[in-house]
Each structure stands twice: as C-alpha cells, then as structure tokens.
Amino acid sequence: MKAVIPVAGIGKRLRPHTFTIPKALLNVAGKPILGHIVDGLVEMGVDELVPIIGYKGDLIKQYLTSSYDLDMHFVVQEEPMGIAHAVSLTREFADDSELIIILGDTIIDAEFTEIPRTGDYVLGVKEVSDPSRFGICMVKDGRIARIVEKPDKWIGNLAVVGLYYFKNSSLLYEACEELIAKGITTKGEYQITDALQIMIERGVNFVPYNIEGWYDCGKVETLLETNRILLQRSGSEGARNGSIIIPPCYIDEGSKVENSIIGPFVTVAKGCEIRNSIIEDSILNEGSKLENVILEKSVVGAFAEVTGRRSSFNVSDYSQIDYQ
C-alpha cells in the first residue's frame, strides 16, 4: 500500500523551533512527530511512501531515508497552495491504486489495520470543541453526506482529522485536478475537503472512522500536551548518577543526567547533558545542555545551552542562555 504524507508546512506557530527544522521533525516522547506517523503506517502494511516536502525538505528526506527501509518518492510543493494541490502533485506515483493520506503534523492513535476493513473510502473523524478550525462533516445513515471546510456557522462538530483512505485513488485525483482547473479555493487554498465534497456529490460513499487518540502538534502548548499523553502510554525511566527520575519520562541512553530531578513528563533526546537541575513537563532536543536550572513547561532546541535559574520558556536550536 502507498501512503502520501504532506509535510511541506512552515510551522509558524512553533517558532523559534521551526526556524531550523521542519515541524514534522520536532521531538515528542522520544522520536520525531513524523516517526510516530510512519511507525503506524508500517504496522498497517504500507511499503511505499510519497512525502510531499517543501520547507527544509532536505531534512525530512534525510530523516526518512536513514530511518526506514521503504520505497520512497519525494514530491516538492514549491508554494503553500493547500493540501489538495499538494496531493495532486503525487498522482504519477499513486497509479490510481489503494492509498492512504495522513497529515504530517498530527499523531493519530488508531488501529490502522482496521481502516481498510471499514470501507472502500474512509475518513478519520473526531468531535472537536472548535469546529471553525477544521473541515466538518455531516453524517447520515452511516455515511458522510457533506463536508464543509472551516464553517462560518454551526453545522456540527465532527471534524475530519487528517486521515483519508481510498481503495482506488483515481476519483480523488480527478477531484483535486478539477479544483485547480476551476480555481476553486477556500481560505485562499485548494482544500482537500472541497475535493472530498466533489467525490461525495459524484456518489462516493465515505465511511466515518472514529479516532479516539488524535494529538495535535501544531503549537508549543499542544506539543507538550501530546508529549504528556504519549509518555503515559510508553514512557521509560530509571535512576541516573544520583538523580531521581519521576515517571513517565523518556531519557535516551546516549544522554547524561547527573544530580538532578527529572519528571514527570520529560523527554530527553540523545546527546543531552543535564546537571544539578530540576526538569518537569518539558522536551529537551538533541544535544541540549542544562545546568543549575529549574525548568517546566518548556521546549529546548537542539544543541542549546541553558544555565541559571527557574524558568519556563522555549529555546531555539544552538541558543545559549546564562542566568546569573
């Protein structure tokens, strides 16, 4: 099975971290967001990836090719023109065959192997508190009857959450190409929800698949929340050189922790060094160094150095902060 993963976004809401890496490579619970996504696809039986890259796409390509033994075809979206436009660029690799699309900035906890058994055309859905931020679907007789992208008025709160399955993808590509040919945009972009609505109007029966675990990673607050949830499921812990580790935590074996209290809800990536510090509810990216600090609700960028006092902040890659 083939999987298309749009990962071309800039990630403005995650700055300063996305100044140096794409948001799909931000670490959460011990691995990049994209790693969690691809692991789920591999379990489903996906053996061919078509990532749609753009901003800092070379880093996406480097990560995927070094981490997974899968057939891959990288497609570049030069300008952010919407998901339907991005998907349209991948047709030559899809062969109008079985296809799953999953957005590259959210982590979905689902039984992926069940999705093809649910129906020939399946959309992942979840009830949300703010429908104005999502494509919202209306369900009738167990089928999706209508989809509206970011509705201005209330039509429901069942959102399409970035997972789409097609037994045969030809109708999807035809719908995407029609949007582009006719210049049909919503909020200035070619939206995949508009393409799905065209398919519905042509008689395609989409089945809703309820997603219980859908974890947004689009801003720092939700990234930390997702880190907490995933660590509760699979976090590891252990004593380190006179330190106290309060679970759940993920601490890479290649990191150093001395005379510190770590946790709960802390991710420590490889190459980190922590001394004489208290860290909770935070993500420390590769190679970061912390000494004599009390830190909470923070994301520290790769190879950043922080020394000093109690704080809550977001530190970009290669920064140096010294509180005296």
> Does pLDDT of 190 surpass 70?
yes
Tell me if the bond preceding 16 is cis, omega within 30° of 0: yes
Phi, psi at residue 39, to the nearest 5°? Answer: -60, -40
Residue 211's H or E segment, with its range, is none
- 282 has a pLDDT exceeding 90: yes
Task: List pLDDT tens digits, range 74-106.
Answer: 999 988 889 999 999 998 888 778 899 998 888
Domains 2-216 and 235-322 share a fold: no
Please check the confidence at residue 156 and state whether its pLDDT lies above 90.
no
Select the more confidently predicted residue: 69 or 315.
Answer: 69
Instruction: Check residue 89 and give its pLDDT.
Output: 93
pLDDT of residue 167 exceeding 70, the answer is yes
Question: CA 319 to CA 131: how far, in whole Å?
Answer: 37
User: Which helix (H) or strand (E) element contains residue 77?
Assistant: none
The residue-averaged pLDDT of 155-164 equals: 87
Give 160's contacts (C-beta < 8 A, 6+ positions apart).
123, 124, 125, 134, 135, 136, 137, 147, 193, 196
235-322, CATH topology level? UDP N-Acetylglucosamine Acyltransferase; domain 1 (2.160.10)
- C-beta of residue 180 within 8 angstroms of C-beta of residue 190: yes
The stretch 310-321 carries a mean pLDDT of 50
Q: What is the pLDDT of residue 64?
A: 94
Separation of CA 241 from chain center: 34
- Give domain 2-216's CATH number out of 3.10.129.10, 3.90.550.10, 1.10.10.10, 3.30.360.10: 3.90.550.10
Confidence of residue 235 (pLDDT cuts 50, 70, 90): low
Distance CA 258, CA 256 (A): 7
Quote the CA–CA distance of 112 and 126 in Å, as a whole number: 15
Residue-wise pLDDT for 242-274, tens only, equals 788 999 999 988 899 999 999 899 999 989 999
Q: Using an 8 Å Cβ cutoff, are 237 and 248 in contact?
A: yes
Residue 180: its H or E element: helix 170-182
Q: What is the mean pLDDT of the chain?
A: 86
If you ran DSSP here, which 8-state letter would residue 206 be given? Answer: P
Q: Check residues 73 and 302 and name the one with the higher pLDDT.
A: 73
**26 CB-side CA count, 13 A:** 39
C-alpha span between 22 and 302 (Å, rounded): 13
Residue 240's pLDDT band (cuts 50, 70, 90): low
End-to-end CA distance of the chain: 56
CB 256 within 8 A of CB 1: no
Give the model's confidence band at 315: pLDDT under 50 very low, under 70 low, under 90 confident, else very high.
Answer: low
3-state secondary structure of 50: strand
pLDDT beyond 90 at 174: yes
* pLDDT at position 320: 44
Do residues 123 and 137 make contact, with C-beta atoms less than 8 angstroms apart? Answer: yes
pTM (predicted TM-score): 0.85
Burial class (CB in 10 A: 0-12, 13-18, 19+), 239: exposed
Domain boundary assignment for the chain: 2-216, 235-322
Per-residue pLDDT, 312: 47
The answer on pLDDT for 16 being more than 60 is: yes
Residue 241 confidence (pLDDT): 66
Residues 129-150: what's their mean pLDDT? 86
- Residue 259 in tokens: 């005379």
